[in-house]
Amino acid sequence: MGTQLKDRKIILGVTGGIAAYKACILCRLLVKSGAQVFVVMTPSAAKLVGKETFEALSGHPVSIEIFDRTEDISHIALATNADMVIIAPATANTIAKIAAGMADNMLTAVTLAAACPVAVAPAMNTNMYNNPATQENIQTLIRRGIYVISPAEGELACGVSGTGRMKEPEDLFEDICAILSNRLENKTVQGQLENHQGRLPSPVKPLELTQTRLLPKAFGAGYKVVITAGPTVEDLDPVRFISNNSSGKMGYSLAQVAAALGAEVTLISGPVNLEAPKGVRKIDVKSAAQMLSAVEDYIKSADIFIGCAAVADFRAETISPVKIKKSEDADTLTIKLVKNPDIIATVGKLESNRPFTVGFAAETNNLHDFARAKLEKKHLDLIVLNDVSNKAIGFNSDDNEVTVFDKDGQVAHFEKQPKPVIAQYLMELIFKSAKKKNG
């Protein structure tokens, strides 16, 4: 998850709120995603959580005092080339200092020196949060392009309930992914990121999005996306069936990325051992016929359809109501198979309300020829080719390598990388292509 954070330099600011302990969880999530995390604490925060904890979690020294190091101007050095500053929790005191442009401690100095996106996650008593001074300071931050991740409602440390509770670390993690995803828009088709400094829009006009109403318009905001994933299972009798080795990892990764980029996502999944991504509507199905029925239910309002499922091509003409027994008189068993409905072709050939349609070609030979033929035959906008004969990138593997085609030829090739990374590149390409087609 959150592989768009890989190798990002993120400064995690921790202030003296009781929610400082939650910053440990956020730090772990960021590091696990591949980010380089540098923790900056206020002296008050250091009294609540020891810096040794954050040093162990981040793998980097923690900065507290503005003159911790004398060999360089440490607050400038920290802020240089940072991809993001996230302050969680952000107390009323620190919010006021940032609004006033103060640099009286290491954290406020780093924030003032940062030339990257800055986000704050307020955490404080309800009355303090609702105080006109705090609200005015928050509006000042927003006008200056600082992201304010609205606090949640709930029981606070002071014993009262109300607004002021810092969002949970998992939710903050998704917000960070959403913010940084906007900065990845100008990647090249080979999957290499160009310099994206300064391309993130300022959050001066709050929008209603899945992440938080104060985030800017996300890359996939406003899109309704339907994705199929996993295998289908075709019963032969009560205990036997026809299926394949699809793990669903690619489709689930696409769904997670699409949701993080602001889209409304419906994931129609065959039987897999994966949890539904956060913020995604999951529809469980078993057979190809059930998957088609679910697709027909949700495709009417979809803007984008991605057929990533490994749908069985055939099913038994008749399902035995009892277990098929082997016969002592016969060494063979004949089962008549009939074709399953072609789900992706059904969507691709829609004459009205047809969504931007993307298919997958899992091939073992004549890769490019078969992929192009499938694109044309099924009336697709894009097709994603992968070589399932290669066990390093085939079914059930954690990695993938894909080539993308449209009607004019090859659009992009993404070298072998973890499937969530491939999903990030693919979803950006799909959203960009859909927008281009729709004008």
Phi first, then psi, for residue 269 (nearest 5°) are -120, 135
Structural domain tally of the chain?
2
Q: Which residues participate in the annotated binding site for CTP?
A: 307-309, 313, 323, 341-344, 360, 374, 378
Instruction: Identify whether residues 319 and 414 lie together within a single domain.
Output: yes
Domain contains 208: no
Instruction: Identify whether residues 313 and 407 lie together within a single domain.
Output: yes
Instruction: Dig out the tokens for 117 from the structure.
Output: 């996106």
Domain contains 217: no
Supply the pTM of this predicted model: 0.57
Residue where a domain stops, chosen among 155, 184, 213: 184
Instruction: Identify whether residues 262 and 321 lie together within a single domain.
Output: yes
Residue 424 has pLDDT above 50, yes or no: yes
The DSSP symbol for 344 reads: H
Mean pLDDT value across the chain: 82
Residue 206 has pLDDT above 50, yes or no: no
Domain contains 110: yes
303 vs 116, more confident: 303
Residue where a domain stops, chosen among 184, 207, 232: 184
Residue 401 has pLDDT above 50, yes or no: yes
285 three-state secondary structure: coil
pLDDT of residue 161: 65
Transcribe 197-227 into DSSP letters: TT-SPP--S----SS-TTSPPPTTTT-EEEE
Residue 197 has pLDDT above 60, yes or no: no
pLDDT of residue 311: 92
Biggest CA pair distance of the chain: 90
Instruction: Identify whether residues 50 and 172 lie together within a single domain.
Output: yes
Instruction: Identify whether residues 123 and 229 lie together within a single domain.
Output: no
Is residue 394 very low, low, confident or very high in pLDDT (cuts 50, 70, 90)? low
- Residue 402's DSSP bridge partners are 414
Is residue 190 very low, low, confident or very high in pLDDT (cuts 50, 70, 90)? very low
Domain contains 194: no
Q: Does the active-site annotation cover 158?
A: yes
- Average pLDDT for residues 385-409, to the nearest whole number? 81
Domain contains 205: no
- Average pLDDT for residues 326-334, to the nearest whole number? 83
pLDDT of residue 439: 64
Question: What confidence tens digit (pLDDT) does each residue in 214-231 have?
Answer: 334 456 778 999 999 999
439 CB-side CA count, 13 A: 0
Instruction: Identify whether residues 178 and 238 lie together within a single domain.
Output: no
Is residue 4 very low, low, confident or very high in pLDDT (cuts 50, 70, 90)? low
Instruction: Identify whether residues 7 and 154 lie together within a single domain.
Output: yes
**Consecutive H or E run containing 71:** none
> In 68-90, which positions are buried (b, 16+ CB within 10 angstroms) versus exposed (e)?
eeeeeebbeebbeebbbbbbbbb
- Average pLDDT for residues 273-290, to the nearest whole number? 91
pLDDT of residue 157: 58
Contacts of 300 (CB under 8 A, 6+ apart): 353
Q: How far apart are CA 152 and CA 155, in angstroms?
A: 10
Q: Are 262 and 217 in contact (CB under 8 A)?
A: yes
Burial class (CB in 10 A: 0-12, 13-18, 19+), 107: buried
Contacts of 378 (CB under 8 A, 6+ apart): 342, 344, 345, 348, 349, 359
Instruction: Identify whether residues 289 and 388 lie together within a single domain.
Output: yes
Domain contains 420: yes
pLDDT of residue 358: 95
- Average pLDDT for residues 20-31, to the nearest whole number? 92
Angle at alpha carbon of residue 435, lines to 343 and 229, rounded to 5°: 30
Burial class (CB in 10 A: 0-12, 13-18, 19+), 230: buried
Instruction: Identify whether residues 98 and 180 lie together within a single domain.
Output: yes
Q: How far apart are CA 134 and CA 140, in angstroms?
A: 10
The amino acid sitting at 283 is I
pLDDT of residue 193: 26
Instruction: Identify whether residues 153 and 248 lie together within a single domain.
Output: no
349 vs 198, more confident: 349
Residue whose token pair is 């070609």: 361
Q: How far apart are CA 82 and CA 75, in angstroms?
A: 11
Q: Are 370 and 363 in contact (CB under 8 A)?
A: yes
The DSSP symbol for 231 reads: B
pLDDT of residue 324: 87
Range of 330's domain?
224-437
Catalytic: which of 24, 116, 158, 177? 158
- Average pLDDT for residues 268-281, to the nearest whole number? 90
Domain contains 321: yes
Q: How far apart are CA 225 and CA 281, in angstroms?
A: 10
Q: Which residues participate in the annotated binding site?
A: 307-309, 313, 323, 341-344, 360, 374, 378
Question: What confidence tens digit (pLDDT) does each residue in 146-169 have?
Answer: 888 888 876 665 556 677 788 889
Question: What confidence tens digit (pLDDT) does each residue in 38-92 have?
Answer: 999 999 999 999 989 999 999 999 998 876 554 444 556 677 778 899 999 999 9
CATH number at residue 409: 3.40.50.10300
Residue 188 has pLDDT above 50, yes or no: no
Q: How far apart are CA 282 and CA 277, in angstroms?
A: 9
Instruction: Identify whether residues 10 and 106 lie together within a single domain.
Output: yes
Contacts of 171 (CB under 8 A, 6+ apart): none
Instruction: Identify whether residues 160 and 77 lie together within a single domain.
Output: yes
- Average pLDDT for residues 124-129, to the nearest whole number? 88
Residue where a domain stops, chosen among 184, 214, 246: 184
Q: How far apart are CA 130 and CA 136, in angstroms?
A: 10
Angle at alpha carbon of residue 75, lines to 71 and 79, rounded to 5°: 115
- Average pLDDT for residues 88-113, to the nearest whole number? 93
Long-range contacts of 195-203 (CB under 8 A, 24+ apart): 197/115, 197/116, 198/115, 200/117, 202/144, 202/145, 203/142, 203/145, 203/146, 203/147, 203/148
Is residue 187 very low, low, confident or very high in pLDDT (cuts 50, 70, 90)? very low
Is residue 302 very low, low, confident or very high in pLDDT (cuts 50, 70, 90)? very high
Domain contains 157: yes
**Nearest Cα residue to 350 out of 408, 426, 295:** 295
322 vs 203, more confident: 322
